[in-house]
Structure 1
Amino acid sequence: MNQESVHEDDDDRTTAELLVTLDSDYRKCYQHVIRQLNLADKTSDGQILADTDFEARQLIRTAFAYIEGATFVLKTEATFNAEEKNVELTAQQQHFIFEADFEINDKGQVKQKAAKIPLVKNILFAFSVFAEANRLQYKLDTNARWWTLMLSSIRVRDRLMHPRTPSDLDVTPEETVAMIEAKVGFDEELHALLSASKAQTDL
């Protein structure tokens, strides 16, 4: 198969398929973790005695792959929705939607490069720009429990991605549960925003 045909095949695949695949990966990891936790012994004070580090690391990685994928899809959908609803997004917003930045090279030419957007800011921007593009009165509640758990889970993810000591790879049951709750909260917020957009369109 040549390179051109590979790109043609990719063009036929949708962002919905991307999210379904990423969510499926997460759910498989989730099932493995829950099975391990349910089979684990517990101490008299309720502490779980289970070696779930491998499964937990996989769960956290797949959860954030899904969250990052969903965040990008939400931003690109904002572009299409804004065009349909005659909402004018700024050039700066468009740059961050497609995660593009610019620099001047040694020849004085302007070159595009990938923008480095911290995940927290990217999520906040994605929800905000999608709401704006769909004329929705909406603001992400950063005081919600799931959001706090998301922030703590990001620190765990960063530790796993950039380990310095063996203990950096350890994931406690509490950290695993926090990731699960954060993923559930993210999904609920995402679906609520998408449903609000659809309801407005159906009016």
Structure 2
Amino acid sequence: MSKEKERNRTIHLIRILIGDVIAARERLNLADTQTARRDVVRASLAAIEGEIWLAREHVREALRDFDELSPLADFALSEQTYVVTENGKLLAQARSVPLPTAVRLIVVQTQIICPELAVDFTGTGWSNFRRAVSIRNRITHPRPENDLDVSDEELHAVASGLSWLAATVEYIMTNTNLALVETKAFIDQLLAGDPDAIEAYQAALEQKQ
């Protein structure tokens, strides 16, 4: 499948997930029940997972384009690991990464190609994002000691967490796309024999040595 087709499929998926959030909120407005509140939480976290998957694949592809995708990062961003069987065969295994950890991973890997990238992990957006994940986990894996009710404050935290993540993903993708455009322009200048570009390229090589 081409990159363009894969990108279109991903965008279609995100639209469906966001549409589910909107529909769940509309049902809640019509009938404010705990069932409707839990539906909003579940739909919102499904959208969060979709956004994280989109960002993870985007950054993985960008790192590959820059030839900066390490084997370890490739495994981590793919949520994969491997085992070696007794007869020497390699087997791939899925390895789920907690959502907050996945966001941190995506940001750290993005900073390899966009060092100026700065995501705020101290504000209420990040705090609400982590709380949203915790709320979803609580109602998805019920235990006798856990309360399945979702409060107004928790609904606000879930909405805030989703909004923070969506803005963060857009910020990451915009910066990586800009870096790719700037790199292509720089390569074109090098191929055209631009003296400033050549000097900058030589200086960068010296720094790596």
The two structures have a TM-score, normalised by structure 2, of 0.75
The answer for the alignment partner of 1:21 in structure 2 is: 16
Q: Read off the aligned partner of 1:192 and give its amino acid letter.
A: Y
The answer for the alignment partner of 1:64 in structure 2 is: 45
Out of 103, 118, 122, the position equivalent to 1:143 is 122
Q: Deviations over 1:59-113 (max 9, x none)?
A: 11111111111112211112222233x2412100000111111113343422110
Q: Read off the aligned partner of 1:116 and give its amino acid letter.
A: S
Out of 26, 34, 37, the position equivalent to 1:53 is 34
Residues of 1 paired with 2:26 and 2:52: CA distance?
24
Say what the alpha-carbon RMSD is for the aligned residues.
2.4
Q: 1:143 is paired with a residue of what secondary structure? A: coil
**Residue 159 of structure 1 pairs with residue 138 of structure 2:** yes
Residues of 2 paired with 1:107 and 1:162: CA distance?
38
**Structure 1 vs Structure 2: percent identity of aligned residues?**
19
**Residue 185 of structure 1 pairs with residue 164 of structure 2:** yes
Q: Read off the aligned partner of 2:99 and give its amino acid letter.
A: L
Question: Alpha carbons of 1:55 and 1:131: their partners in 2 closer, same or farther (altered >3 Å)?
Answer: farther
Residues of 1 paired with 2:7 and 2:171: CA distance?
28
Q: 1:169 is paired with a residue of what secondary structure? A: coil
How many equivalent residue pairs? 178
Residues of 2 paired with 1:106 and 1:34: CA distance?
57
> What is the CA distance between 1:190 and its match in structure 2?
1.8
Out of 60, 81, 93, the position equivalent to 1:113 is 93
The answer for the alignment partner of 2:147 in structure 1 is: 168
> What is the CA distance between 1:202 and its match in structure 2?
4.8
- Which moves more between the two structures, 161-170 or 94-103? 161-170
Q: Read off the aligned partner of 1:60 and give its amino acid letter.
A: V
The answer on whether the counterparts of 1:75 and 1:97 sit within 8 Å (CA) in structure 2 is yes
Q: Read off the aligned partner of 1:194 and give its amino acid letter.
A: M
Greater helix fraction, Structure 1 or Structure 2: 2
Out of 66, 91, 95, the position equivalent to 2:71 is 91
> What is the CA distance between 1:125 and its match in structure 2?
0.8
**Residue 101 of structure 1 pairs with residue 81 of structure 2:** yes
Q: Deviations over 1:108-142 (max 9, x none)?
A: 4221100121111111112332343x434213211
Q: Read off the aligned partner of 1:59 and give its amino acid letter.
A: V
The answer on whether the counterparts of 1:74 and 1:130 sit within 8 Å (CA) in structure 2 is no
